[in-house]
Structures are given as C-alpha cells and as structure tokens.
Amino acid sequence: MTTPKGGRPATGSVKWRHNPDRVDPVTGKPAPGMQWWGRVTKANGRGFVPLDPSILEHERDAALACAVETAAWYRDNPTTVKTVRETVSEYARRWCDWRESRGMVCVKDDRARLKNHVLEGVGALDIRAVTRRDLERLVERLDERITKGDLGWKVAMMAWGNVTRMLKDACSAKRLDLRVRADDPSKDVQGPERGDKKEKQYLWPVEFLALITSPKTPPRWRVLFALAVYTYARAGEIAALTWDDVTFETNTIHIHASVDRVRRKGHVSSTKTGVSRRIPIEAELLPLLAAMHATAKGKGKVITAMPSAGMLSRKLRRYLGKAGVRRAELFAAGDPTRKAITFHDLRATGITWMAARGDDPLRIKQRAGHASFSTTEGYIREAENLGASFGEVFPALPEVLLEPLGGLAPVWPVPNSGSPSSQKQGVLWWAQQGLNL
C-alpha cells in the first residue's frame, strides 16, 4: 500500500452515523439512515464521505478496508464531484437483477463473486468515475490473494470477467438506464495471473471396455457411461434428451437443450454455448440406442432418472476401480497439475477419440458444441501425442449392454414421464433385481 507524503501507511478512519442521502442497498431507492462514513482528503480539505451502504454496523473491518480504498480514489481524483450518484455496489445490484430477469442462471454465482472478491475494494466508488487505476489496484489485490493461496486463480478470473462484463454493459447495455458511462475503463487492463491449468482426463479404449464389461458395474451405469462417451454430450444435455431428439431415419441426435442440475435444479434451458447441434449416431452406439428406443416405445426421455451431479463422478471413479483400472492420474485428487477424472471427462474422452480417429477439426468443433475453435485445438493437440498403442477408438459395444433389453426388464426406469413417482418405481425395480445404486 502506498504511503502518502512519506508517512505511515493509510489505515482508514470511519464513523457510524446518519446519512440523509443514503440509498437502500437492496432496492436502490432513497432510504435515509445510519451507515459507515470514511475520512478522505479532497481538493477542498479533509472530510468524511459515505461508504458502501451494504456494510453493516458490526462489520467495522470491512468499513476500514473500504475507507482506505475510497481515500486512495479521492487522492487520484481530487476534482471529483461532491456526491456519488451511484456506487459500484448499487450499480452491480441493478446489473445482476437485469441479467436475472433475462433468465441467466449464473447470476447467483456472479453476485457471490462480486460480493466476496470485488465490491469490498471498489464498491463505494462512483460507477461513472471508476478509472483504469482503480481496476489495476483491484487486480493487484486479487493477485496477492492468489499468491497467498486465499483465492483460486480460476475464481479470480471469473470475478474479473464479471467486472469487465459489467463495465462493458455500463457503456452499451441493451437496457438504456444501465448505460451510465461513455467509456470502458477495463479495456486493455490485464486481468489476474493465471495458475497452472490442470490437464483434462480421458479414458483409453481398453479402460473404457473394462469399465462397461465389468460385472461390478451395474447395467444402468454401463449404459450411461457409453452414452456420455459416444455422444460426447454434457451431462445436462444427456438429461434433457428425449426420444423425439433421436432420428433413426437419418441416424442423428439433436442436442438443443440442457437440464441445470446445480444452480436451478431441473430447469431446462439452451445448451451451454446457446447453440443447438445435430450429431451423427456413432455406428457402434446404434444397436444400443435402437434397443433402448424399442423398450421405451419411443416415448419420454432417453434417461428418465439422471443421477445427481456429485454422484456421477463418484460412481465413475468407484466403478473404474472395481473394474481393475489403476492408472494413477485418473485418481489424482489434490494434485497441483492433475485432477481426478470426472463424469464430464467422458465427454472429453469422446472428443479426444474423434481427434485420434482423424476427424475433420471443424466437424469435431460442431459435434462437440464448442464456442471457439481454440477449445477444439486443445483436444487435437492431445490426440497428436497418442501412438498406435492407444487402441481402437469407439470400439464396438459389447453385447452385455443389451442383455437387460432382451426381455421385459428396462435398461432405465419406465414409464417415461420423468415424474418423481416414475423414478421411484424405477429405483424399486432395480433394487428388486439386486442392482441397487
């Protein structure tokens, strides 16, 4: 922290007192009342100014930190207006409310990141007067927390992304009342330092076959693992698939929706990138899909009882271990450069296999639903490292996956309404077969 005029570092000076011009931090409407004030030096001398109204009376430490940042801002902006028209905190609240009204399911996480990592430093500043230097100070604080281990670099990058998106909308949002600036001070400001990116995991063909042929892998999970690899779809996209999306006349699957199973559980929206896609049904997957379609009479969801997000990855690692797959990096929890395999990595497996097979890069991008080609390039580069000993990708699925479809027993709970009652009936059926999850 800078030391003005060679003296001791600024520590801030605050008071809890009445503000007749206070604005309610929730509604954004005038609400005279008590709030924290901080002492700053302005062009006309020293005095107290109101701080972020969302800081509560017992949060003195937060008020002191806010006062230090506010004082620094006034030092850099000695000719600022006497009163702040709208703080960054107040604007952020309006901005998040607007995004939420547009159906964005990420807003809850955005609010938390802004509150925990951004607003304590710049929340009391006027949104119309935030400068590039203010943002550079914010990045410095984020970098310090990353270095100390108090904050993950990915979270810092997402918080910084919220800041840049908000300031861009402050210039050019579709909603006119959110346009409060003529410039974007975040332009050309370098964001937080990136840490080591952990490598994606994927299965070798022999490991995949061991997983789905193991007698210790329940039939339900064999089918789900096969679908994830051979459709290279995200878990939410698989959960949203219905038999209407599967067209056997053209051997295609239409992926156009996704079920949110983390933030707004059960909410159906567009895919992650907002773009629908049609993918060809891999020839080796076709017999299994046809048998499942016949069992379900072509109605309802392809998967009618999708396990929870946390269970998917836990079960995958559990059944890999039971199948005798021992490759250490697949179970590297807590490793600084590697991560344990997750259910999402089955999608990475399918995409890597496409690249290893030599599929056209643009087709891989379209089938995977990547927003940018740079994402696809990562899989292509990884596939270039694989030799002939890697094995035959997209091997024929073993007949053991079709055995439960030979009689009346369904591979997945039926009826197909997807209602809680039908899912409960399905779980009971599996329990009766000794295949309880």
Task: Report whether pLDDT(417) > 50.
Answer: no
In the predicted model, is pLDDT for residue 23 greater than 80? no
pLDDT at 174: 87
Q: What pLDDT shows up at residue 362?
A: 94
**In this structure, is the dihedral angle defined by the CA atoms of residues 274, 279, 282 and 285, taken in order, positive or negative?**
positive
pLDDT greater at residue 184 or residue 121: 184
Query: Cβ atoms within 10 A of the Cβ of 116, count?
Result: 12
Reported pTM: 0.60
| Percent of all residues in the chain with a pLDDT value above 90, rounded to a whole number | 37
Return the axis-axis angle of helices 344-357 and 361-368, rounded to nearest 10°: 160
Structure tokens at 148: 């100390």
Mean pLDDT comparison of 44-53, 75-84, 375-384, highest-scoring range:
375-384
Q: pLDDT by residue (tens digit) across 333-348? A: 766 667 889 999 999 9
Give me the mean pLDDT over the 167-189 stretch.
Answer: 89
Q: Are 240 and 262 in contact (CB under 8 A)?
A: no
Is the Cβ–Cβ distance between 306 and 238 less than 8 Å? yes
pLDDT tens column, 264-292: 566 777 787 778 899 999 999 998 998 88
For the cut 70, the answer to whether the pLDDT of residue 79 exceeds it is no
DSSP symbols for 314-358: HHHHHHHHHTT---GGGG-TT-SSB----THHHHHHHHHHHHHHT
pLDDT at 428: 39
Residue 212 pLDDT class (50, 70, 90 cuts): very high
- The token pair at 243 is 């038999």
Q: Which residues contact 301 (CB under 8 A, 6 or more apart)?
A: 239, 240, 241, 242, 243, 416, 418
Is it the case that residue 300 has pLDDT exceeding 80?
yes
- Report helix angle 153-172 to 107-117, nearest 10: 100
77: nearest Cα among 7, 34, 124:
124
* Number of neighbouring beta carbons within 10 Å of residue 57: 10
Contacts for 98 with CB less than 8 Å, ≥ 6 apart: 173, 175, 178
Each residue's pLDDT tens digit, 225-263? 999 999 999 999 999 999 999 999 999 999 999 887 555
- The amino acid present at 401, given as its one-letter code, is L
pLDDT category of residue 163 using cuts at 50, 70 and 90: very high
SS3 assignment, position 30: strand
Q: What is the mean pLDDT of residues 18-33?
A: 74
**Angle at 314 (CA atoms; ends 371, 271), nearest 5 degrees:** 20
The pLDDT assigned to 206 comes to: 95
Q: Cis link prior to 415 (omega < 30° from 0)? A: yes
Q: List Cβ<8 Å contacts ≥24 apart for 252-256.
A: 252/278, 252/279, 252/280, 252/281, 253/278, 253/279, 253/281, 254/278, 255/231, 255/279, 255/369
Residue 213 has pLDDT above 50, yes or no: yes
